Structure 1
Amino acid sequence: MHFANRLQALEKNVFADMDRAKSQAISNGKTIIDLSLGSSDLPADQEAIKAIASSLEDPSTHGYLLHHGTLKFRETVAQWYDKRFGVEVDPHTEVLTLIGSQEGTAHLPLALLDPGDFALLLDPGYPSHAGGVYLAGGQIYPMPLLAENDFLPVFADVPSQVLEQAKMMVLSYPHNPTTATASLGFFEQAVAFCQEHGLVLVHDFPYVDIVFEGMVQPPSILQADPTKSLSIEFFTLSKSYNMGGFRIGYAIGNLEIIQALRRVKAVVDFNQYRGILNGAIAALNGDQTTVERTVTRFQTRRDAFIKALHNIGWHVTPPQATMYVWAKLPQAWENKSVEFCTELVAATGVAVSPGAGFGKQGEGYVRFALVHDPDILELAVQKIDQFLGSVNILR
């Protein structure tokens, strides 16, 4: 049987390999402590749950939901952005409801790229950004994120021949997996760079709320491009409101880009259940106690996990944002992140994500997701220490 050539670029998936490794460990009797996936273990926003529950009793919510039926949600998003970032948004033309933000970031290249066009992506970066480019027949230019540059790309390093064929650049700060943050000044440089070279600027923004003590509120890309000349931003309620399984997000920004993405979306799906949108409206309009509790919980976990790592001699800088810890591997494993992760889960049941799964520049690192409470995280570190043999391996 013959399948489309576009699938060839999608054959390698480190996370699918890790899933198989976890399954094998379970079959061998291991109890899994899964720190490999950024899927929050915390309960969804209670106001959202109440709104969804009440919607179930309303038969008018049970049918297909077309674009015009999402207006109340889009109006809520526009009001939220104005209140949060001081950016005025037209809910009719500058907001698009999505079935999770990953739907939008994966579909957008279909609206922007012709076969052979380049997309500038972060390396390491979130895997679905690359997947959408491959499906559109585009080429990827990976912008290296290095520790010495605070895990920010250097725009001047992009070759001119690549820029001649490039149509879009994707950023995402606070960043998954490195946990790096970016200033408004950095985004203003990015906007100027994209204006100079005729690029659409895409910002994936799921961790806007997951920032810790002393950290300045992460800026929206629309603050750097208030006229929305070439920018689009993606947001999801998966992280701030623990609604990952409900698949609710949105795109916001330049009306022409929003319209182009809407045209792609129109041939793929309608929208999710109206009750989920009602829940999202309740969450965005609520008192934000869910967000505050979530941030406090992740900060407590971060502190406990970092302390435990330091106690076994694995020294990692505490992240200022996100629900992850990005850790450079001990020297003996520095170019073997996949091997480290597969052998670790086989030996101990502790599952973490190999840095190589996020791109070439991720090699030599692993990503821990803080999706368990401190006692479980500390147990995971004990098992990691046993796997490494002794603290002397780390020192």
Structure 2
Amino acid sequence: MQFADRLKPLQFNVFADMDRAKSEVRATGMTVIDLSLGSSDLPTEPFILEAIAKSLNDPHTHGYSLFGSTLDFREAVAAWIKQRFSLTIDPETEVLPLIGSQEGTAHLPLAILNPNDFALLQDPGYPSHYGGIHLAGGRVYGMPLLAGNNFLPVFADIPAAVLSQAKMMVLSYPHNPTTATATLEFLKSAVQFCQEHNLVLVHDFPYLDLIFDGSTPPSILQADRDRGVSIEFFTMSKSYNMGGFRVGFAVGNRELIQALRQVKAAVDFNQYQGIMRGAIEALASDRASIDRVVSAFQERRDAMIDSLKAIGWAIPTPKATMYLWAKLPDRHAHDSVKFCLDLISSTGIALSPGKGFGQHGEGYVRFALVHPPEILREAAKKIGTFLQLQK
């Protein structure tokens, strides 16, 4: 049996290797503490679940959900954008519901790239961004994110030959996996760069609420107020613990929204309308539920930072996200995949190897803080024993 060449770049997947390793460890009876996936363990708020539950008995929600039937949700998004960022958007032409933001970031390249066009992506970056480019037949130029540059790309370093063939740039701040944040001034510089080089600017924005200093990270829509080149992706998964419900949305340039809508129409309908009713309730709510999420992850961050410091592994304290981005001890820095495979087989602790996020992620691992503090402390102790045995 022969398969399409577009699958070839997707064959190397260190996360699939980690999943196999986790299954093998569980099969031995060892307990696995999985810190490799950024899937929140916190529950969805009852008021959201109640809105979804009430919809089950409404037969009007049982059919296909086409674009026209999502107007209430799109209006709720527009009101939320107005409240959060003081921006007025058109719910008819500048908002598109999505089955999670990953649907949007994976499908948008199909609307923008011709075969062999370049996309400028963050390296390290979220793997789904890479997958969407490969499926569209595009080529990836990884913009290095280095600690010395605060994990921000240096646009002046992008080769002219690449820029001449590039059609889009993808950014995401607060950033997965590095936890870095970006200022409004940086985002404005990105908008200007994309305007000068005729690039679509994509901003993936799942962690806008998971920031620990009380501020709100800037939106790309604030940097590109007339939405000339930009589109931004949002999800309900992180702020509202709705990952399994698969609900997100895109906001931005109306031509980009229309192009993505065309791709979406060929692939799927929208999710169940009852889920959208739950999302509407979430978007219209106050910040109390979000504050509980932020407080929980801040407590976990502090517990894990302190516990790792106690075993001799010092990690900078992140300002945002649900992760730690940890530089490996020197003796392990050359092979993050081997480190993670050895760690889980020895201790049952699963981390994400930095190499899985791109070439410049090598030498790091990512901790997902998706367990209560007491379990994180237990994991740190086991890691400490592992590191002592490796000396």
Q: Same fold (TM over 0.5)?
A: yes
Counterparts of 2:270 and 2:219, CA distance in 1: 25
Matched with 2:53 is: 53
Report SS of the residue matched to 1:318: coil
The structural deviation recorded for 1:173 is 0.1
Residue 229 of structure 2 corresponds to 230
Which amino acid is the alignment partner of residue 219 of structure 2? S
Partner of 1:209: 209
Paired with 2:251 and 2:117, the residues of 1 have a C-alpha distance of 24
Q: Measure the CA separation in 2 of the matches of 1:46 and 1:193.
A: 44
TM-score by length of 2: 0.99
* Secondary structure of 2:140 counterpart: strand
Q: Distance in 2 between matches of 1:326 and 1:46?
A: 32
TM-score, reference length from structure 1: 0.98
Question: Residue 370 of structure 2 aligns with which residue?
Answer: 371
Distance 2:359 2:346 in 1: 26
**How is 1:154-303 mapped onto 2 (pairs within 5 angstroms)?**
154-213=154-213, 216-303=215-302
Q: Which runs of 5+ in 1 are unaligned?
A: none
Verify: 1:39 aligned to 2:39, yes or no.
yes
What does 1:18-29 align with in structure 2 at a 5 Å threshold? 18-29=18-29
2:84 is matched with 84
Please give the alpha-carbon distance, in whole angstroms, between the structure 1 residues aligned to 2:313 and 2:290. 30
Question: Alpha-carbon deviation of 1:288?
Answer: 2.5
Rounded Cα–Cα distance in structure 2 between residues aligned with 1:185 and 1:110: 30
Question: Do the aligned residues in 2 keep the contact of 1:47 with 1:286 (CA within 8 Å)?
Answer: no
CA deviation map 1:264-312 (0-9, x unaligned)? 0000001100000000000010122211100000000000000000011
Give 1:236 deviation, angstroms: 0.2
Whether the 8 Å contact between 1:174 and 1:322 is mirrored in structure 2 is yes
Contact 1:116–1:138, Cα closer than 8 Å, also in 2:
yes
1:117 Cα deviation after fit: 0.2
Aligned residue type for 1:292: D
Q: Deviations over 1:165-193 (max 9, x none)?
A: 00000000000000000000000000000
* Equivalent residues, number: 391
Alpha-carbon distance in 2 for matches of 1:46, 1:82: 25
8 A contact 1:352–1:369 mirrored in 2: yes
Q: Which residue in 2 is equivalent to 1:101?
A: 101
Distance 1:144 1:29 in 2: 40
**1:385 maps to 2:349:** no
Distance in 1, matches of 2:10 and 2:299, equals 37
Secondary structure of 1:217's partner? coil
Name the Cα RMSD after superposition.
0.9
Partner residue in 1 for 2:112: 112
* 1:82-123 residue CA offsets vs partner (Å, 9 max, x unmatched): 110011110000000000000000000000000010000000
Q: Which whole-Å CA distance do the structure 2 matches of 1:368 and 1:274 have between them?
A: 35
SS at match of 1:389: helix
1:45 Cα offset (Å):
2.3
Measured in 2, the distance between the counterparts of 1:343 and 1:24 equals: 12
Letter in 2 for 1:110: L
Runs of 4+ in structure 1 over 6 Å off: none
Alpha-carbon distance, 1:216 to partner: 3.2
Q: Which amino acid is the alignment partner of residue 265 of structure 1?
A: K
Q: Partner residue of 1:307?
A: 306
Question: 2:352 & 2:162 partners in 1: Cα distance?
Answer: 31
Percent of aligned positions that are identical = 65
Whole-angstrom distance in 2 between the partners of 1:374 and 1:170: 33
Cα distance per residue 1:136-192 (max 9 Å; x no partner): 000000000000000000000001110110000000000000000000000000000
Q: Which residue of structure 2 aligns with residue 357 of structure 1?
A: 356
Paired letter, 2:293: T
How far apart are the structure 2 equivalents of 1:93 and 1:307?
A: 48
Mapped to 2, the partners of 1:201 and 1:303 lie a distance apart of 34
- Tell me the secondary structure at the aligned position of residue 211 of structure 2: coil
Specify the alignment match of 2:69 in structure 1: 69
Secondary structure class of the residue paired with 1:226: coil
SS of the equivalent of 1:90 reads coil
Alignment partners' CA distance in 2, 1:309 and 1:389: 13
3-state DSSP class of the match of 1:6? helix
